[in-house]
Amino acid sequence: RESVFVSANAKCTDVYVEEGDEIQAGAPLCHLDMTDTLSSLETATTNYNNALKSYQDQEALFDAQIALAEKTVSDTMKSYQDQEALFDAQIALAEKNVRDLKALLEIGAAAQAEIDQAELNLQNLQTSKSSALTQLEAGIQNAQTNIQSLQVSKTSALTQLETGMQTTQISIDQL
């Protein structure tokens, strides 16, 4: 006499043998109604597939946001270099203008007021350069901080989704 155990949550609706019957290997012993188990499996599978889709969507969204932030850093660095080169050229020209006016002043062909104005223009350019580059540096720093924040958020969100998927997979495996 042997006992038969079913590892699934099922109802036995028909029994095809009686105690003491001789049976052959593979012969059906009973009919099991697996409706509840199959329904649970279908629900768990749907939940898993939804979690997987959510994981993929979140990963793609974070990757897109990180790529955009990285492009912002790259574009801002390029703008920094361009602005620096432009200001350097303007400052070099303004310095030359001051030197030329001083030389003209020595021979009486320029007034001190012209030199004062040229020196003021030079100072204004130097101040503008410093201000513009400081703003661009702050923009680069903010974008880099944003990238780091997005990477941390991505890791956290995906870890949570992975945990949910693992829990659902365990439920499926137990059915």
- The per-residue pLDDT for range 141-156, each reduced to its tens digit, is 999 999 999 999 999 9
Of 26, 22, 19, 27, nearest in space to 3 by CA: 19
Per residue in 71-90, pLDDT (tens digit) is 999 999 999 999 999 999 99
Per-residue pLDDT band at 10 (split at 50, 70, 90) = confident
* Cα distances (Å, whole numbers) of residue 87 to 40, 78, 138: 69, 14, 18
